[in-house]
Amino acid sequence: MKKVYSVALILLALWMPSVNAQCPPPGGFAVPYILPGGSCQVIAFNMPSNALIRVLNGAGVDITLRNPDNSFPMTDALGTAAPFYNCNSTPAQVVTLGPGKVCFANVAAPINLPIKVKNFTAHAQSDNSVLLRWASVFEITSHKYVIQKSVDGRTFTDIGNLQAAGNSVQTISYSFSDRQLTNSGAYYRLKLVDLDGSFTYTKIIYINNGQVSLGQLSVFPNPFRSEVQLKGISSSDVNRKNVKIYNAMGMEVNYRVLGGNAITIDPALPKGVYIIRVKGEAFKLFKE
């Protein structure tokens, strides 16, 4: 089990005289979050570089935990760090320590780690390529995005990768161009790889350029939450003329085309049964 250590209190007393002069303008800031599984971490930005960093509670007590490899947390060359802290305490401040490197930053209330990626879409281009777009809203120790492709929606292969930001609390946009779209269309997903080698996958999206037979119409996932992928229809035919959605009372429901073969239905709509008609063919969907 990780142990709380309090050497910061001694070091802080030694280096306190230089506090105000050492914080990089406009000053550091820190955001706490709770990892899946229950671990707690604070991400700090704009702090002095290559300095020891500690997490303090409201009483000034050091609640920092060692890193998983038993090392002491430090800021990197950009002044960024992500120290763990004791989840039984509430973080109030982070402080960097070292000769000439003492700097405080206030910490907000802890939050749950949000979904990293949003707005993952595919757009067919005039040169028969596919432009993939997505955005990250929160990156913690992220390493890279691996772009994966499949022709059947089951077996995926890597077709490229993009370097991730590492640590960020700002929205960052990414894009990748696949210049080898097959005539039968393709499925895509992203593999999100962190610095420690752990990874997760995004949702699967589908696109069809409609140059040859499109095959049988189908929709997925089912059940769904808000987004639905349409298979067996050209992306250029995904519009309000060809695609209509109704609730269980037979009332037409509004939706938005995300790009490619994807649409999104208002997530605020109630759970239950919905009917989607694609070029006259009806499918029953269940909204979670």
CATH code of 153's domain: 2.60.40.10
Q: Where are the beta strands (DSSP E) in 46-137?
A: 52-57, 64-65, 84-85, 91-97, 103-106, 111-112, 117-124, 130-136
Q: Is the pTM of this model over 0.75?
A: no
Determine the 3-state secondary structure of 122 from DSSP: strand
In a domain, 88, yes or no: yes
pLDDT at 19: 40
> Domain range spanning residue 75?
7-112
Residue 181 forms part of a structural domain: yes
Among the three residues 55, 88, 112, which one is the final residue of a domain in this structure?
112
Same domain (yes/no): 198, 272: no
Pairing type for strands 172-178 and 186-194 reads unpaired
One domain, residues 108 and 14: yes
Indicate if 97 and 30 belong to the same structural domain. Answer: yes
pLDDT at 182: 67
Residues 105 and 121 in one domain: no
| CATH number for 64 | 2.60.40
Q: Same structural domain for residues 98 and 131?
A: no
* Paired residues of 125 in beta bridges: none
Whether 102 and 155 map to the same domain: the answer is no
> Could you tell me if residue 212 is inside a domain?
no
* Per-residue model confidence (pLDDT) at position 114: 54
Three-state secondary structure call for residue 243: strand
For residues 138 and 87, membership in a common domain is answered with no
Domain end point (choices 207, 230, 247): 207
Q: Are 217 and 242 in contact (CB under 8 A)?
A: no
pLDDT for the residue 236: 81
User: In the prediction, which pLDDT does 36 show?
Assistant: 64
Are the C-beta atoms of 261 and 235 separated by less than 8 Å? yes
> Count H helices, E strands: the chain?
2, 24
Per-residue pLDDT tens, the chain, 288 aa: give them: 333 334 444 344 433 433 444 677 666 677 777 766 677 888 888 888 899 999 999 999 999 998 888 888 998 888 888 899 998 988 999 999 877 788 888 887 666 555 578 889 888 887 878 999 999 877 777 889 999 999 888 899 999 999 998 777 778 999 999 988 766 688 999 999 987 788 889 989 988 865 544 567 888 888 998 889 888 888 888 888 989 999 988 999 999 998 778 899 888 899 999 999 988 889 999 998
CA distance 286 to 272: 5
The amino acid sitting at 48 is P
Same domain, 262 and 170: no
Asked whether the bond before 267 is cis by omega within 30 degrees of 0, the reply is: no
Q: Do 199 and 276 reside in the same domain of the chain? A: no
Counted domains in the chain: 3
